[in-house]
Amino acid sequence: MGFFSRIKEGLKKTRTGIMGRMDGLFARNMFDDQFYEELEEILISADIGVETTLELVENLRQKVKETKAKEGDQVVTLLKELILDIIGTEIYGLAEVEEKPAVILVLGVNGVGKTTTIGKLAARYQREKKKVILAAGDTFRAAACEQLEIWADRAGCEMIKHQGGADPSAVLFDAISAAKARGVDAVLCDTAGRLHNKTNLMNELKKVHRVVEKAMPGAPHEVLLVLDATTGQNALAQAKVFNEAAPLTGVVLTKLDGTAKGGIVIAVARALKVPVKFIGVGEKSDDLQPFDPREYVDGLFTQD
Amino acid sequence: MVFENLSNKLQETLRKLKGKGKLTEKDVDAALREVRLALLEADVNFKVVKDFVAKVKERCLGKEVLESLTPGQQVIKIVNDELTRLMGESVAKLNQASSPPTIVMMVGLQGSGKTTSSAKLAHLLKKKNHTPLLVAADIYRPAAIKQLQVLGEQLDVPVFQMGEQDPASTAKAALELAKKNRHDYLIIDTAGRLHIDEELMNELGRMEKAVSPHEILLVVDAMTGQDAVNVAQSFRDKLGLTGVVLTKLDGDTRGGAALSVRAVTGCPVKFAGLGENTDAFEPFHPDRMSSRILGMGDVLTLIEKAQSSFDQKQAQEMERKLRTQQFTLDDFLEQLQQIKKMGPLNQIMEMMPGMGGLGKKLKGMSVDEQQFVRVEAIIKSMTKKERQEPVIINSSRRKRIAAGSGTKVQDVNNLLKQFDMMQKMMKQLGKMEKGKFKGKGKFPFM
């Protein structure tokens, strides 16, 4: 299966989920209060959130008035543009750095798929004929290290680990040192899942970030927050607090192969201006794709 | 305000109603609009919200409210009633097998916390003198079996596994072993799967057939959004779900998924996961959850927490010392440590009635935990004699203590001043009659 069809595969459910209803709604060509109310419901059911939804709907009303749009198609285009205004249109790839290695820090709450994302990223680097080292920074959860090790074997790359319960900062420091010595292209740093309201764990993360900065000037080059597409409004709180502890450069949206729509990334982009860089659409190592905002939004609004 | 929680929102809306002598339909609509938005922001599924609001409105417009003297309070009561009714009213216990073992199967999406919850449940049962056997039937995720084994080792609970063989036969073999070794509970950890993955959903069906579990618990992440409904529906259609485990409730999510899942499956939430440690797992109290949503505080959980973390004997000893004014810095330190055992301070505060409304101020509470650490360090830097008789701490001793604890002399001064004030307070309390002092005296800090 090609990359594009894979995204489509992932997004198809998004489409048939909300947008089956959406098509019907726009096809009516009636843009009255009833229409906007139903649109509101549809957007909220995609986890876009009350505040962002209300703003989107209000702006759409304005736009429809200004442009005197009467056809369903026109209104859909207006809505798409409004969403793209928020999430941007750029497509991102793997981090490029002048001086090797690129240090990539992967963060998130428990169970969103950090380790899996790292495994898939490693496979991606490998496919591009680049050398990576994985750093087993989750020293807390039982068997997290073994899980990462299996991914490292699959991608055929090296992994740096300490014993369970070790200081994650030390693991990452060692990994970065090793990466510099061996001239690899990137270090992918796993971290333990942590809920953002646990002050001590967020402080630990700040320390991790500081130590990485010390280990290599300019690092981390990429700080990716992994968000689970099934998560609701709490993802916004997660993004805000993680961003304070370690300024984010991007979001990875995982589990988009289910029925969840992942609309919360629109709210996150609106609040923090942090772009979505990758999406996870399955359990295989090549199921991590660059996020294409246009395709995402198109996917939301076109019929199959 | 995105970060205000549901209880704050509802409280604010309903406060506006409280003062009113008479309500019009318009007032009710305005209040219910806020209720609707608050519930939606809390991730309750929009269909569930719709039904809920319609029901509340119907009752609000009935005679009992419009003709009541305090309609505002009536509306609050109705919202609370309906919320509680939706959540379920009492604690739902685990089903029991008529002849052991009781078989519990844990199912759910990836990353919802099945493995951790399985271990936590085993721990809970073991504490009650049961003999659970854990079964590792997640053959897909790398190192999932290993994870359960490590947890089992920590808890001293045996873990059965047959590597990557068919999970249904693993479960069957585990059941045989449980019967043979007289385990009274069998807890099967299954692989995380998407509810639309037909092949894997069928696999669960086969496992259900193979061992006929007494409990099939759907493990749901409390942070789940609108999709919770789809997930719950698919699992309910495929399996004979008997209950729900709500995980990661120790986060700051508003947990609307709990309402959605309950409404869709009709199954009670039986357990709540509240932290990273294996003992952070409790029977779920639906009535407390809804009163917490409404900002009425969760006093019962707080009391239970206090009871389990405070050693009864120690508390009595402390009480005696307080009364006879022999309270030293050592005792002070001991008390600090006991309070710390109860969990993060902000979590404790959230459970206290009236504190819910202080949400914003509580954001600063984490600073206070730092304070705890500092106070501990200062006291630990004192000699035994100094702890018994703080009076002897002169300025050179203060300097030494500050240096030893990595604090400033001012911090040491502050602590001594506070301790002095506390002792004075104790003296006054000591003069009060014994009877009055009992009960509350166990936790002078609270």
| 3-class state of residue A281 by DSSP | coil
pLDDT above 50 (res B445): no
Domain membership of residue B441 (yes or no) is no
- Asked if residue B226 and residue B172 are part of one domain, the reply reads yes
Domain membership of residue B134 (yes or no) is yes
Chain A residues within an 8 Å CB radius of B230: 259-260
Chain A residues within an 8 Å CB radius of B45: 45
CB contact under 8 A, A142 and B111: no
- Asked if residue B122 and residue B30 are part of one domain, the reply reads no
Q: How confident is the model at residue B446 (pLDDT cuts 50, 70, 90)?
A: very low
- Asked if residue B274 and residue B141 are part of one domain, the reply reads yes
C-alpha to C-alpha distance for A29 and A41, rounded to whole angstroms: 18
Chain B residues within an 8 Å CB radius of A234: 43, 223, 251-254
**What HEC string does chain B produce?**
CCCCCHHHHHHHHHHHHHCCCCCCHHHHHHHHHHHHHHHHHCCCCHHHHHHHHHHHHHHHCCHHHHCCCCHHHHHHHHHHHHHHHHHCCCCCCCCCCCCCCEEEEEEECCCCCHHHHHHHHHHHHHHCCCCEEEEEECCCCCCHHHHHHHHHHHHCCCEECECECCHHHHHHHHHHHHHHCCCCEEEEEECCCCCCCHHHHHHHHHHHHHHCCCEEEEEEECCECCCHHHHHHHHHHHCCCCEEEEECCCCCCCCHHHHHHHHHHCCCEEEEECCCCCCCEEECCHHHHHHHHCCCCCHHHHHHHHHHHCCHHHHHHHHHHHHCCCCCHHHHHHHHHHHHHCCCHHHHHHHCCCCHHHHHHHCCHHHHHHHHHHHHHHHHCCCHHHHHCHHHCCHHHHHHHHHHHCCCHHHHHHHHHHHHHHHHHHHHHHHCCHHHHCCHHHCCCC
- Asked if residue B344 and residue B211 are part of one domain, the reply reads no
Which pTM was predicted? 0.76
Q: Is A261 on the interface with B (CB under 8 A)?
A: yes
CB contact under 8 A, A234 and B254: yes
Query: What is the length of chain A?
Result: 304
Chain B residues within an 8 Å CB radius of A255: 109-111, 194
Last residue of a domain, one of B87, B116, B140: B87
Mean pLDDT of chain B: 80
Chain A residues within an 8 Å CB radius of B41: 49-51, 233
Q: Is A12 on the interface with B (CB under 8 A)?
A: no
Contact B71, B25 (CB under 8 A): no
What is the model's pLDDT at position B341? 62
Q: Is A197 on the interface with B (CB under 8 A)?
A: yes
C-alpha to C-alpha distance for B123 and B157, rounded to whole angstroms: 8
Last residue of a domain, one of B243, B263, B297: B297
What does the pLDDT look like over B207-254, one tens digit per residue?
999 999 999 999 999 999 999 999 999 999 999 999 999 999 888 777
- Asked if residue B139 and residue B287 are part of one domain, the reply reads yes
- Asked if residue B261 and residue B123 are part of one domain, the reply reads yes
CB contact under 8 A, B251 and A196: yes
**The domain spanning residue B69 has which CATH number?**
1.20.120.140
- Asked if residue B245 and residue B120 are part of one domain, the reply reads yes
Domain membership of residue B445 (yes or no) is no
Helix (H) or strand (E) holding A22: helix A20-27
CB contact under 8 A, A195 and B225: no
What does the pLDDT look like over B13-30, one tens digit per residue?
666 666 666 667 777 787
Q: What is the mean pLDDT of residues B282-293?
A: 73
CA nearest B257 in A: which residue?
A232
CB contact under 8 A, B231 and A259: yes
* Sheet containing A132-135, strands listed edge to edge, beginning at the edge strand earlier in sequence: A158-160, A132-135, A186-189, A102-107, A222-228, A250-254, A276-280, A288-290
pLDDT above 90 (res B139): yes
**The domain spanning residue B261 has which CATH number?**
3.40.50.300
Q: Which of A47, A144, A228 is nearest residue B111 as measured by Cβ atoms?
A: A228
Domain membership of residue B350 (yes or no) is yes
CA nearest A196 in B: which residue?
B251
Residues 95-124 of chain B with CB under 8 A from chain A are 109-113
Q: Is A31 on the interface with B (CB under 8 A)?
A: no
Indicate the burial class of A8 (C-beta count within 10 angstroms; 0-12, 13-18, 19 or more).
middle
Smallest Cα distance from B191 to chain A, Å: 12
**The domain spanning residue B388 has which CATH number?**
1.10.260.30
Sequence-separated (6 or more) residues with CB below 8 Å from residue B277: none
Mutate to test the interface with A, among B34, B36, B221 (most CBs of A within 10 A): B221
Supply the range of the domain harboring residue B48. Answer: 4-87
- DSSP tag of A283: S
Q: Is A21 on the interface with B (CB under 8 A)?
A: no
pLDDT above 70 (res B312): no
Q: What is the mean pLDDT of residues B175-195?
A: 95
pLDDT above 80 (res B348): no
- Asked if residue B246 and residue B113 are part of one domain, the reply reads yes
- Asked if residue B313 and residue B285 are part of one domain, the reply reads no
Sequence-separated (6 or more) residues with CB below 8 Å from residue A105: A189, A191, A208, A209, A212, A220, A222, A223, A224, A246
Domains in chain B, number: 3
Domain membership of residue B258 (yes or no) is yes
Q: How confident is the model at residue B346 (pLDDT cuts 50, 70, 90)?
A: low
Residue with tokens 């002048």: A98
Sequence-separated (6 or more) residues with CB below 8 Å from residue A34: none
Domain membership of residue B124 (yes or no) is yes
What does the pLDDT look like over B368-387, one tens digit per residue?
666 778 888 899 899 988 88
Last residue of a domain, one of B247, B270, B297: B297
Domain membership of residue B446 (yes or no) is no
CB contact under 8 A, B254 and A142: no
CB contact under 8 A, B252 and A196: yes
Chain B residues within an 8 Å CB radius of A109: 223, 248, 251
Residue by residue, pLDDT tens for chain A (304 residues) are 333 444 555 555 544 555 556 667 777 777 888 889 888 888 898 899 999 999 999 999 999 999 988 888 888 899 999 999 999 999 998 888 888 899 999 999 999 999 999 999 999 999 999 999 999 999 998 889 999 999 999 999 999 999 888 999 999 999 999 999 999 999 999 999 999 988 889 999 999 999 999 999 998 999 999 999 999 999 999 999 999 999 999 999 999 888 888 999 999 999 999 999 999 998 888 899 999 999 888 766 654 3
> To 10 degrees, the CA torsion angle through B305, B308, B310, B313?
150
- Asked if residue B147 and residue B283 are part of one domain, the reply reads yes
- Asked if residue B286 and residue B139 are part of one domain, the reply reads yes
Domain membership of residue B308 (yes or no) is yes
Q: Which of A44, A119, A195 is nearest residue B250 as measured by Cβ atoms?
A: A195
Could you tell me which residue, B352 or A111, shows the higher pLDDT? A111
CA nearest A202 in B: which residue?
B366
CB contact under 8 A, A113 and B369: no
What is the model's pLDDT at position A31? 84
- Asked if residue B126 and residue B218 are part of one domain, the reply reads yes
Mutate to test the interface with B, among A230, A253, A254, A257 (most CBs of B within 10 A): A230
Smallest Cα distance from A127 to chain B, Å: 21
Q: Mean pLDDT: which of B26-35, B264-273, B333-342 is highest?
A: B264-273
CB contact under 8 A, B46 and A228: no
CB contact under 8 A, B226 and A45: yes
Q: Is A259 on the interface with B (CB under 8 A)?
A: yes
What does the pLDDT look like over B373-422, one tens digit per residue?
888 889 989 998 888 888 888 999 999 999 999 888 998 998 888 888 77
What is the model's pLDDT at position B436? 42
Cross-strand pairs, A160: A135
Smallest Cα distance from B6 to chain A, Å: 12
